[in-house]
Structure 1
Amino acid sequence: MRPPIDSGTILITGASSGIGREIARQLARRARTLVLVARREERLEALRDELLAHNPTLGVMVERCDLSHPDEVDTLLDSLHRHLVRVDVLVNNAGLGDYGLYEQESWSRIHQMLQVNVEAPVLLTHRLLRRMLERGRGGILNIGSGAGRMLRPGMSVYAGTKHFLEGFTESLRLELSGTGVVVTLVAPGPVDTEFREVAGGENRSARPSWMRISAERCAREALEGFERAAPLVYPGLAYRWMMRLASFMPRPVMRAGGLVVARRLRHGTSLLEPAHPDARLGRRVLLAGGPEGA
């Protein structure tokens, strides 16, 4: 069973940059219509022009939508209905993250992450899935994160939302077995997107360069796994083997490693330098396209 990518209508959230943009580029030569969704309309329009220049018969819809606002998600869905757009494949790629101690986060920021990373993909899936089931064919590709399988001090809310997405996707996949709807979760590690560029020293110090991959490669391996109807995809060879080995790591060992990171964060030091009791953590906001960005 394969998702109906060829000559299908595919909706991609977070399509303005990063992994979402690369997925759109790779699907443009195969799909009948792409529905590009993101906050930054000017970037979507630039991507549309690029795609049409290389694929003049492709249909492209640009839908500006801030997924942190449920009313805008409703407007997006109403627009699809009004234009008689039948979505064959849904790519839940948009995401939002922050780096810092939980108590230093504003509730508005936390709520925004919950809306983008949890409510939006669940709502879109709920509204589009029934039509897929009626047709007996469809696909749902959820771009999560390796954080959804690990303990991530300094990214507690982000990691929690990705843990949710993993449980939701894996369970939904079982429910839809034999229905003709393919469900795949992608859990990327370090990917060269705007999210990583904005992250700064803390994130990069813990991310060796040999593990990082390009957004193009991440998108390619994600789609290859989706077409195989794989339940879970780890893009990147080195990262894939690391995550497979990590699955055998006892929980107490994971907690011990996480505790070291948490203590360093609390005292505002890098993992590569001794802690200073008077240091204070400076938060770095992460907001970009890709698995972590809208």
Structure 2
Amino acid sequence: MRPPIDSGTVLITGASSGIGRELARQLARRARTLVLVARREERLEALRDELHARNPTLGILVERCDLVHPDEVDSLLDSLYRHLVRVDVLVNNAGLGDYSLYEQESWSRIHQMLQVNVTAPLLLTHRLLRLMVERKRGGILNISCGGARAFVPGLAVYSATKHFLDGFTESLRLELRGTGVVVTQVAPGPVDTEFSEVAGTGERAGRVPAWMRISPAQCAREAIEGFDRAQPLVYPGFAYRWMMRLSSLMPRGMHRAAGLPGARKLRYGTSLLEPAHPDTGRRVLLAGEPEGA
């Protein structure tokens, strides 16, 4: 069973940049209509013009919507209903993250992450899924991340939202078995997008080896290929895919241990894995770090 991408209507959130933009470019060759959703309307309009130039018969709707606000999501869906737009495939791609110690995070930012990463996908799926089930055809493609299968110090809230999306997607897939609705989760690793800059993880992202990183175009291509095959979970990128498969065999305690150096570096500015001081042979105690930590 394949999702009804070909000659169907596909709604993509977070379509103005990164993976979402590449998904739009690649799906434009197959879909009848694309509904492009994001906050930055000028970028959506530029993407619309680009896609129209390459695919003159493609229908494209540009919908500015800030997913932080559920009322704007409701307005988006009401607008589609009024214009008789029937969504065949929903791509929940938009995501928001922030790199910080949890107690130093503002509640406003935490709330924004919850709204974009959890509430918006749930609301869109809830409003669109029933009609897919009634038609016995449809598709839900949820773009998550490797953080859904790991513990990520500095990204506690973001990681938690992706753990939620992981559980939601896997459970929803079981509920929809035999209904004609395909459900796939994509869990990318290091992808060269603007996310690192927005989330404040640019320095960490820069330390990821080049052989582990992939382009947004490759991520989108492998995501669509896995969706076409109705795979439950897609890890884009050969090296990253095997790393995640091996990681799934590790006991929970090993995952905790793997995250500890990063957690200590974030809080104290140093890591258990950093070399000892060349003169004293001891790790330097930084200001604010408790004795014996």
Structure 1 counterpart of 2:128, one-letter code: L
Match of 1:128 in 2: 128
Match of 2:137 in 1: 137
1:200 positional shift? 2.1
The SS at the match of 2:98 is: strand
Aligned equivalents of 2:212 and 2:51: distance in 1? 30
Render the CA deviation track for 1:131-184: whole Å, top value 9, x for unaligned: 101110000000000000001011000000000000000000000000000000
Match of 1:102 in 2: 102
1:192 positional shift? 0.4
Aligned equivalents of 1:228 and 1:164: distance in 2? 24
The SS at the match of 1:97 is: coil
Match of 1:187 in 2: 187
Aligned equivalents of 1:197 and 1:97: distance in 2? 10
Render the CA deviation track for 1:190-209: whole Å, top value 9, x for unaligned: 0000113453213332x222
Answer yes or no: is the 8 Å Cα contact 2:190–2:205 preserved in 1.
no
> TM-score normalised to the size of structure 1?
0.92
Match of 2:229 in 1: 228
Structure 2 counterpart of 1:203, one-letter code: A
Match of 1:254 in 2: 255
Answer yes or no: is the 8 Å Cα contact 1:186–1:222 preserved in 2.
yes
Change (3 A) 1:264 1:41: same
Structure 2 counterpart of 1:150, one-letter code: A
Aligned equivalents of 2:234 and 2:202: distance in 1? 26
In the alignment of these two chains, the number of paired residues is 279
Aligned equivalents of 2:95 and 2:241: distance in 1? 21
Aligned equivalents of 1:173 and 1:104: distance in 2? 36
1:245 positional shift? 0.2
Aligned equivalents of 2:223 and 2:202: distance in 1? 26
Aligned equivalents of 1:174 and 1:200: distance in 2? 37
Aligned equivalents of 2:247 and 2:56: distance in 1? 45
Structure 1 counterpart of 2:269, one-letter code: G
Gaps of 5+ in 2: 276-282
Root-mean-square deviation (Å): 1.4
Answer yes or no: is the 8 Å Cα contact 1:90–1:125 preserved in 2.
yes
Structure 1 counterpart of 2:144, one-letter code: G
Q: Which has the higher contact order (CA 8 A, sep 6+)?
A: 1
Match of 1:114 in 2: 114
1:249 positional shift? 0.6
Among 197, 201, 204, the alignment partner of 1:202 is: 204
1:276 positional shift? 4.9
Change (3 A) 1:138 1:277: same
Match of 1:278 in 2: 287
Greater CA radius of gyration, 1 or 2? Answer: 2
Match of 1:219 in 2: 220
Q: Structure 2 matches for 1:35-54, cutoff 5 A?
A: 35-54=35-54
Change (3 A) 1:226 1:152: same
Gaps of 5+ in 1: 281-294
Structure 2 counterpart of 1:191, one-letter code: V
1:260 positional shift? 1.9
The answer to whether structure 1 residue 238 and structure 2 residue 239 are counterparts is yes
Residue identity over aligned pairs, in percent, reads 77
